[in-house]
Amino acid sequence: MTRFPTDFPTHFPLAPNATIGLVGGGQLGRMSALAAARLGYRCHILTRETDSPAAQVSHAVTISDYSDPVSLRAFADAVDVISFEFENVSAEGLDLLDSIRPVRPAPSVLRISQDRVNEKTFLNGAGVATAPWARVDSRQELDEAVQRLGLPAVLKTTRLGYDGKGQAMLRTPADLDAAWDRLSPKPLVLEGFIDFDREISVVVARGADGSLSSFDTVENRHRDHILDLTLAPARISEATDQAAQAIGRRVAEALDLIGLLAVEMFVDSAGTVLVNEIAPRPHNSGHWTIDACPASQFELHIRAIAGLPLPPATRHSDAVMKNLIGPDGMALWPAALVEPGVIPHLYGKAEALPGRKMGHVTKLFPRGALPGDFGIEAALGRLSQT
């Protein structure tokens, strides 16, 4: 049971001017800090990076490794509640933080989401379908898993994978040796082939009182394994939408989540919805909510961890969100500033490295008027060139 110091009682909901600690200094922390400021809170960032995107807009910053106990204790002593903006942090470090201040979502949630074996085991145990999968601890087990699941298949690391990193497509038996040697750390996870139609996602917030608020299901399109476009709402059947929404709520409740959760899902050619991954934090596929909703995913995240009431996750507009990735994306920034009706967001990163998310733009449409692909391309203008 978590115990907090008697000389620093934590009251919820958090009063104005309380300090929220965010572990991680990237763009998700930046946009969370901006949402927190609008609600009257200060943010203190714990990050390894100097001049991080989140630190640029926050009240205070601690530069430290995520597992250094001295820095973690000092950080926790300076804040009222703690959350995190990405999964590649130390769960043990969060345990230490949670012994001093409440961490929301809980470290137990992070342990599930940051390990694919734990994640898929949890999801299947909660009655949520995934692609067929197998844990692979040895080269021999890889052969056995391929025999069961067939080819093509995808071999993935259990940890530290994102934006297509840490995975390999297996199309023929000749691909197995190189993929096994390249991917680490072990064990790995083999995922069976899905007759893929599209990828969708749902972002849902859950409060400490169990209340739920879920944004509309969106469609995600990737380029080079990195999210390129999000369409809100997804162009799917009502039955598929209802299934996706039900899955999002079920996973949030099964996790006993306090905070925000993104659930990435595949829809196969038969219309079956399968969960790919979960992320207990704001998510790239929810960035459209900043401009198309009265309360964004970041506001709902802050409200949930601060103990504030959750408003309905409604939208006033349809939207398309496009990521600006690396040097090619940054080359479009001048167009983002002048393209009619395009809302630009830049993250304050100093160097436009290949594959790095530098910012995004949002284009709004009247509710119910999201155009087809050619209309989207025309609406984005020069921004559709990458």
Same domain, 356 and 220: yes
Please identify, among 192, 221, 237, the residue that sits at the C-terminal boundary of a domain. Answer: 192
Cis-peptide into 187, omega within 30 deg? yes
Q: Are residues 154 and 281 in the same domain?
A: no
Last residue of a domain, one of 192, 208, 242: 192
CATH classification at residue 304: 3.30.470.20
> Do residue 327 and residue 205 come from a single domain?
yes
Cα–Cα–Cα angle for 278, 215, 54, rounded to 5 degrees: 65
Q: Reply yes or no on whether the pLDDT at 29 is more than 80.
A: yes
127, part of any domain: no
The answer to whether residue 177 sits within a structural domain is yes
Q: Check whether residue 215 and residue 335 sit in a common domain.
A: yes
Residues 137 and 55 in one domain: no
pLDDT bucket at 56, cuts 50 / 70 / 90: very high
We report the CATH number of the domain holding residue 53 as 3.40.50.20
Residues 179 and 200 in one domain: no
List, in sequence order, every residue forming a beta bridge with 214; answer none if it has no partner.
204
Residue 124 lies in a domain: no
CATH number at residue 167: 3.30.1490.20
Identify whether 370 is part of a domain.
yes
For residues 225 and 330, state if they share a domain: yes
357 and 296 within one domain:
yes
Domain membership of residue 375 (yes or no) is yes
* pLDDT more than 90, % of the chain: 90
Same domain, 158 and 289: no
Mean pLDDT of the chain: 95
Same domain, 205 and 165: no
Q: pLDDT for 295-345, tens place per residue? A: 999 999 999 999 999 999 999 999 999 999 999 999 999 999 999 999 999
Split at pLDDT 50, 70, 90, the class of 163 is: low
- Other beta carbons within 10 angstroms of residue 343's beta carbon come to 17
Which of 176, 192, 208 marks a domain boundary?
192
pLDDT at 10: 63
Could you tell me the pTM of the whole model? Answer: 0.94
Q: Could you give the number of structural domains in the chain?
A: 3
| 210 lies in the same domain as 259 | yes
In a domain, 122, yes or no: no
Domain assignment of residue 6, yes or no: no
Q: Is 11 part of a structural domain of the chain?
A: no
Residues 200 and 98 both lie in one domain: no
Q: Which domain holds residue 150?
A: 132-192
